[in-house]
Amino acid sequence: MTTEQWGVRIPTKKGEDMRQALLREGILDLTLKVLHDGDNLVFPVFEEREGISRYVFEDQPGRIALPRHELVGGIAIMQENDPAGADSILASRPSLHTVLFPESEISGEYRTREYTVLAGTATTLTEVNEHGHRYKVDLANAYFSARLSTERQRIAEKTGNNECVLDMFTGVGPFAIALASRAAFIVAADLNPRAVLLLIENIRKNKAGNILPVLADARRLRRILPWQFDRIIMNLPLAGTDFLPDAFPLIRPGGTIHFYSLVSREGEHIDRIRELGGIEVTERMVRSYSPGQWHAVYDIKV
Ligand code: SAM
């Protein structure tokens, strides 16, 4: 039997990293077999994303599909409030200690949500391993998403040795820590005190001594910080372009801003970015957010 599904095509040598990332994101369709196509693999996934196509996959015989879930370290986050499904996830994945169901949308300034524990240990604390880095996260008290791991890698690969970087909405610090072994110096700021406490712990865990943690509102950074930066990361997608005027004075001429935003059409923020001083702007859709809405990243050369 065969089934048509979305497929992510990737060179075989990068296949295992991609498989792990898709598993964490909860979008790998385990009921279908991976396609081998010359030097490439094609992974079946539940969701459309930029640049992927439909493929015909062979069914994986005897594979019982687990209910859909994302993985964040030892925690699985389910899409449905399904205690029996939670037990089956916990039983099938020895690395898990807890299964959660989100009771609310991501909300508030700190971008957190409330959870019910469906199975396992009653906690929202866990440790995530991502591309050789370790992050302590507390899902109920500070934002963390496994879905951005590929983006963090992409920005890390662009970062040069002598760069000074500002992560304006750092959360528990995954972008800052992913870049720390490459950059010279990183300022990582967030408004949420619990996020900053976890960031400090994560700096210690990853021996990232070139990160300066800052508890501050991004609107005040240009008055607090005496430096200009080579690279700025702005990952607060729901804020639209509100914080861009606070970022532009902090970037040096020739520097790059990576600005994440929720958009409902291609090129939505390009005019505003050019008005503020963006010279070269490229826009990519990172993933779909809801019908008609996309998470986009704008790489802005200033
Ligand atoms: N970059 C992190 C990551 O990838 O996990 C966190 C991104 S999360 C979407 C946005 C973060 O911005 C939250 O941790 C929130 O506390 C912080 N935040 C919201 N408003 C802020 C503000 N005005 N100034 C600084 N941080 C803010």
pLDDT tens track of the chain, all 302 residues?
A: 899 999 999 999 989 888 888 888 888 888 899 999 899 999 999 887 777 889 999 998 877 778 999 999 999 999 999 999 999 999 988 999 999 999 999 999 999 999 999 999 999 999 999 889 999 999 999 999 988 888 999 999 999 989 999 999 999 999 999 999 999 999 999 999 999 999 999 999 999 999 999 999 999 999 999 999 999 999 999 898 999 999 999 999 999 999 999 999 889 999 999 999 899 999 998 877 777 888 899 999 99
Ordered alpha helix ranges (H), the chain: 15-25, 83-92, 149-158, 174-180, 193-205, 221-224, 244-247, 270-276
Q: Give the domain-ending residue among 13, 28, 58.
A: 58
Out of 128, 143, 232, give the residue to mutate to test ligand 1, the one with the largest number of ligand atoms within 8 Å of its CB.
143
* pLDDT score for 33: 93
Identify whether residues 118 and 168 lie together within a single domain.
no
d(CA 75, CA 95): 9
Identify whether residues 196 and 83 lie together within a single domain.
no
Identify whether residues 193 and 217 lie together within a single domain.
yes
d(CA 268, CA 281): 12
Question: How many domains does one find in the chain?
Answer: 3
Identify whether residues 293 and 238 lie together within a single domain.
yes
Identify whether residues 297 and 151 lie together within a single domain.
yes
Kindly state whether residue 101 falls inside one of the protein's structural domains.
Answer: yes
* pLDDT score for 258: 98
Identify whether residues 192 and 252 lie together within a single domain.
yes
Out of 152, 225, 236, 244, give the residue to mutate to test ligand 1, the one with the largest number of ligand atoms within 8 Å of its CB.
236
Q: Give the domain-ending residue among 39, 58, 77.
A: 58
**CA-proximal residue: ligand 1, atom 15 (nearest):** 110
Identify whether residues 117 and 82 lie together within a single domain.
yes
Range of the domain at 6: 2-58
Identify whether residues 180 and 235 lie together within a single domain.
yes
- CATH number of the domain that residue 116 is part of: 3.30.300.110
Identify whether residues 229 and 106 lie together within a single domain.
no
Identify whether residues 40 and 164 lie together within a single domain.
no
Of 19, 22, 119, 31, the C-alpha closest to 75 is 119
Identify whether residues 235 and 178 lie together within a single domain.
yes
Kindly state whether residue 139 falls inside one of the protein's structural domains.
Answer: no
- pTM listed for this prediction: 0.88
**Dist. CA 102 → ligand 1 center (Å):** 19
Identify whether residues 251 and 220 lie together within a single domain.
yes
The answer to whether the beta carbons of residues 186 and 180 sit under 8 Å apart is yes
- CATH number of the domain that residue 28 is part of: 3.30.70.2580
* Ligand 1 contact via 112 beta carbon (within 6 Å): no
Under 8 Å CB-to-CB from 77, ≥6 apart: which residues?
Answer: 26, 69, 70, 71, 99, 100, 101, 102, 115, 139
* Ligand 1 contact via 260 beta carbon (within 6 Å): no
The answer to whether the beta carbons of residues 261 and 281 sit under 8 Å apart is no
